[in-house]
A = this chain, B = another copy of it.
Amino acid sequence: MPTFRVIELGPSGAVETFDGAERAAPSPAEVARWIDLAAPDAESLELLRARFDFHPLAIEDCAHLDQRPKLEEYRDHLFLVTQGFTCPGTRVEELELHEVHAFVGERYLVTVHADEVPALESAWKRVASDKRPLERGVDFVYYLMADAVVDSNFPILDRIADELEELEDQVLENPQRQDLARIFELKRHLVMMRKVLSPQRDTMAMLSRRGDARVSERTSLYFRDVYDHLSRINESIEANRDLLGNALDAYLSAVSNRTNEIMKYLTLLSAIFLPLAFVVGFFGQNFENLPGFPDWVRSDMLMYAVLAVCIVTPMAMLAWFRHKGWF
């Protein structure tokens, strides 16, 4: 169900909060407004379009909420799509992608989003309880929100980096199939984050270079800061992808090592018992009296000789393998 809410900074300098669509309209002179629309439907978007004269393409984007980060400049407002991830649990299982569409006019900021965006909520609380942000301008309010959305990506990347380092060690020790599945899952997360956060950086770069009525020069300094954070995030994503390649290589070489180790054991077994099997088989032949051997070899001495061979052969084999450095 679409929900409108508004924070207004009136000429008296007091900040007030309203629910409902009533004040979801361009602000009169001397008034600055942040209008937030959650879970929009066709009707509520049409209301925005009619009151603010937004471009049909932008309104159509708001109806879908599966855009890429972008910045579009219209005659009297900017249209911004901002995206970021949060991750509910402590383990990076399922990333939630949050998308906020924002219209930044001279005295109004309109935000549209589908689900509840934690970063937007925290910005909302701050702006509702402190008049300074709205006094600085709606561009600064947008900065507060965008900065919170962007910064929510840092802990995810840190956790992925930590887990990758762990995975690499663990996999070198003892490669398990679920480790492999986990590596691929983390890669999917990184692919998704890069797909979203790399264009996000470009829009912040554009904002930090601007300096017109909608984004004051003072605020553009702040957007430069957000741009910087996004650069760090993108560098972290790349670094994480490198580490992920490490973990995968570690897995493959650990499996290959293990095959090697098993092969060595099999060969050792064969090297010991195949000759022995021949020896005892030889004396198991049904030649009467094993003709050709003098009598005494049928005596105890042969018996002990065979026993000796059965003990010496494996030892010689083991010594030779150790000499070759296999064990």
Contact = CB atoms under 8 A, between A and B. Distances in A.
Interface of A: 55, 57, 67-68, 70, 72, 165, 168-169, 172, 174, 177, 180-181, 184, 187-188, 191-192, 194-195, 198-199, 221-222, 224-225, 228, 231-232, 235-236, 238-239, 242-243, 246, 248-253, 255-260, 262-267, 269-278, 280-288, 290-292, 298-300, 302-304, 306, 310, 325-326
Given A255-B260, A262-B263, A292-B300, A199 B231 contact: yes
Contact of A195 (B184, B235, B253, B260): B235
Given A236-B195, A239-B195, A277 B287 contact: no
Nearest to A283: B285
A102 B274 CA distance: 73
A282 B184 CA distance: 50
A99 to B, nearest CB: 13
Contacts of A165: 188
A68 B232 contact: yes
A325 B170 CA distance: 14
Number of copies: 5
A318 to B, nearest CB: 14
Given A192-B239, A249-B248, A274-B269, A285 B258 contact: no
21 contacts: A55-B221, A67-B232, A68-B232, A68-B235, A70-B228, A188-B246, A199-B231, A252-B256, A258-B260, A259-B260, A259-B263, A263-B266, A267-B269, A276-B278, A277-B277, A281-B281, A283-B285, A284-B286, A286-B290, A287-B298, A292-B304
A151 B283 CA distance: 76
Contacts of A72: 221, 224
A313 B7 CA distance: 80
A298 B266 CA distance: 33
A222 B224 CA distance: 27
Nearest to A302: B287
A301 to B, nearest CB: 9
Contacts of A243: 188, 191
Residue from A70, A198, A281, A284 with most neighbouring chain B CB atoms (10 Å)? A281
B287 A310 contact: no
A306 B298 CA distance: 18
A243 B236 CA distance: 19
Contacts of A194: 239
